């Protein structure tokens, strides 16, 4: 079970409280986690990754296990602690304020 | 008794203000979508319970929200939680915020660049929806004016969007350039007497008209003069801030432009200035009285660089002669130390008798007048900066 922590605005859109848990088939990567997230919560499509390019939106960052994974290749395996559910995958707004 | 519903978009959410026909006691609902920029929300003329809202953020992009109960509840079209993520025909849900410029060789070419602020070529990039204009007859059909300037249409209640690419691709797109707020398509007027006729306005390109429901377009800017562009009489490049029409006389258009107020009596074929005795040549909104096609309203703003009311006095100006002769309306509006702005989509009228007029400010006030502008009172004083105001007259 993969644990994902969303920023407040995306939790509101997805109508969830707290962490989201997902089943991810096969290798656990940014792409497979986000694919599973968007399949379960289609209202989040386009809010984390651009619709067409599937690139991470500029003001969104990814963290896990105290590491910044924002610039890792989307098909790189995520840390084992994320894959086992010991640690969450964090989707974070890149800058504060506004 | 009939009533009104005022739909207010702000920098930090949407608010719905309702009152009965007397328009004296108001109920305030909101914030809806708290923390998000709500550039615009508007109701369907064919079904007053159907509302559309443009919700966006720099972080998470564009969202389209829809209400089918007059703003009590909202959802992203096509994405009710807990249901299958594809429709029976296999289309993915979650597409209601997908605005993709048409690049097909059949309908989307030429996919040009437009001009950047420094005159260099810049590719089209979707940023946000500025304006939503529901069809006059079909609640499921709605148009979206977006930045970078283009027109999209949904015919399935906002679930999916397709670009009407003939506008961007008609030939002048490479000469369009952004205004200070971005290169936005901010005004969409649907002609009730010619079902295929659509007027749109872009900052800073000008006004365009389609007579075939958005398939083909041409610029209609003859007579406009913009003194600080290289050719003041150019076909393209005018910073049109807003245009308005009265539905009983759709061939007459009124425009607040960056540098003056103008009028067309031939559906945009030609324009002439009607600024008359206005105290400045600048402003954003322009509206037409619901029952008097020659009564129009503007809010003069000081210059193109200061963007606040002259002399610190917030004044709506009304012309009962279709322009040229203007009267300052001040009763109930602050007449000292007022330095707010009124943005282009932030004024609207109701259809009651007498006509109600409403506008919102960047200081968070929404003012209303239940007597066609003779006197004003704040409905709310302390909202986030107001981006848009629309009014529904309820049966």
pLDDT tens sequence across B255-310: 999 989 999 999 999 999 999 999 998 999 999 999 999 999 999 999 778 999 99
Is residue A65 in some structural domain? yes
B240-246 and B249-257 beta bridge pairing = antiparallel
Which residue in the set A10, A42, A98 is minimally distant from B93, CB to CB? Answer: A42
Q: Which domain holds residue A39?
A: 2-93
Residue A17 lies in a domain: yes
- From A60, which residue of chain B is nearest by alpha-carbon distance? B59
| Domain membership flag for residue A13 | yes
Count of structural domains within chain A = 1
Determine, for residues B60 and A48 on separate chains, whether the beta-carbon distance falls below 8 Å.
yes
* Token couple for B163: 């670009």
Q: Is residue A64 part of a domain?
A: yes
pLDDT confidence of residue B103: 82
pTM as predicted:
0.95
* A16 part of a folded domain: yes
Using a CB–CB cutoff of 8 Å, tell me whether A6 touches chain B: no
Q: Which of B250, B252, B273, B113 is nearest to B192 (CA)?
A: B250
Residue whose structure tokens are 């399935």: B156
Q: CATH no. for residue A70?
A: 3.10.20.30
- Regions of chain A short of the pLDDT cut 50: none
Q: Is residue A98 part of a domain?
A: no
Q: Is B36 part of the contact surface with chain A (CB cutoff 8 Å)?
A: yes
Give residues with Cβ within 8 angstroms of B199, minimum separation 6: B187, B188, B189, B191, B207, B208, B209, B220, B243, B245, B253, B267, B268
Contacts of B79 in chain A (CB under 8 A): 42-43
Tokens 């129009």, residue located:
B296
Closest CA–CA distance from residue A13 to any residue of chain B (Å): 8
ipTM above 0.85? yes
Say whether residue B87 is in contact with chain A using an 8 A CB cutoff: no
B97 vs A contacts (CB less than 8 Å): 45-47, 51
Size of interface A-B (CB pairs under 8 A): 64
Name the closest residue on chain B to residue A14, using Cα atoms.
B81
Half-sphere exposure of B16 (CA within 13 A, CB side): 22
The tokens for B227 are 């003194």
Tell whether the model's pLDDT for residue B81 goes beyond 60. no
């Amino acid at each position: 079970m993969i644990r994902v922590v969303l920023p407040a605005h995306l939790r509101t859109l997805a109508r969830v409280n707290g962490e989201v848990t997902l089943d991810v088939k096969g290798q656990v990567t940014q792409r497979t986690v986000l694919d599973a997230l968007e399949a379960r919560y289609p209202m989040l499509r386009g809010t984390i990754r651009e619709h067409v390019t599937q690139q991470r939106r500029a003001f969104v960052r990814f963290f896990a296990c105290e590491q910044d994974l924002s610039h890792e290749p989307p098909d790189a395996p995520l840390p084992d602690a994320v894959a086992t559910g010991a640690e969450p995958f964090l989707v974070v707004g890149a800058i504060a304020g506004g | 008794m009939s009533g009104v519903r005022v739909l207010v978009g702000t920098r930090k959410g949407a608010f719905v203000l309702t009152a009965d026909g007397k328009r004296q006691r108001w109920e305030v609902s909101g914030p809806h979508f708290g923390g998000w920029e709500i550039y615009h929300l508007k109701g369907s003329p064919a079904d007053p319970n159907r509302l559309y809202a443009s919700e966006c953020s720099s972080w998470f992009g564009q969202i389209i929200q829809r209400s089918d109960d007059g703003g009590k509840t909202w959802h992203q079209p096509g994405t009710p939680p807990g249901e299958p993520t594809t429709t029976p025909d296999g289309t993915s849900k979650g597409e209601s915020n997908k605005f993709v410029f048409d690049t097909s060789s059949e309908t989307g070419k030429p996919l040009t660049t437009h001009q950047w602020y420094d005159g260099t070529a810049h590719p089209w990039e979707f940023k946000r929806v500025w304006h939503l204009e529901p069809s006059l007859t079909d609640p499921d059909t709605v148009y979206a004016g977006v930045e970078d300037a283009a027109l999209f249409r949904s015919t399935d209640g906002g679930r999916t969007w397709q670009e009407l690419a003939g506008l961007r691709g008609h030939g002048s797109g490479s000469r369009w350039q952004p205004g200070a707020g971005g290169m936005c398509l901010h005004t969409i007027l649907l002609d009730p007497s010619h079902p295929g006729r659509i007027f749109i306005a872009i900052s800073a390109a000008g006004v365009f008209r389609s007579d075939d429901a958005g398939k083909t377009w041409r610029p209609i800017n003859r007579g406009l003069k913009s003194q600080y562009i290289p050719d003041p009489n150019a076909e393209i490049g005018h910073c049109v801030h807003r245009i308005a029409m009265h539905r009983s006389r759709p061939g007459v258009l009124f425009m607040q432009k960056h540098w003056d107020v103008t009028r067309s009596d031939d559906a945009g074929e030609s324009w002439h200035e009607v600024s008359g005795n206005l105290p400045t040549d600048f402003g954003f909104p322009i509206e037409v009285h619901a029952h008097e096609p020659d009564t129009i309203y503007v809010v003069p703003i000081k210059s193109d660089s200061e963007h606040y009311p002259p002399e610190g006095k917030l004044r709506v100006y009304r012309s009962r002669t279709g322009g040229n002769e203007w009267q300052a309306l001040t009763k109930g509006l602050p007449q000292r130390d007022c330095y707010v702005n009124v943005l282009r989509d932030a004024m609207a009228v109701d259809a009651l008798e007498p006509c109600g007029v409403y506008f919102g400010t960047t200081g968070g006030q929404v003012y209303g007048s239940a007597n066609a502008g003779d006197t004003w009172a704040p409905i709310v004083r302390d909202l986030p900066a107001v981006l848009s105001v629309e009014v529904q007259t309820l049966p």
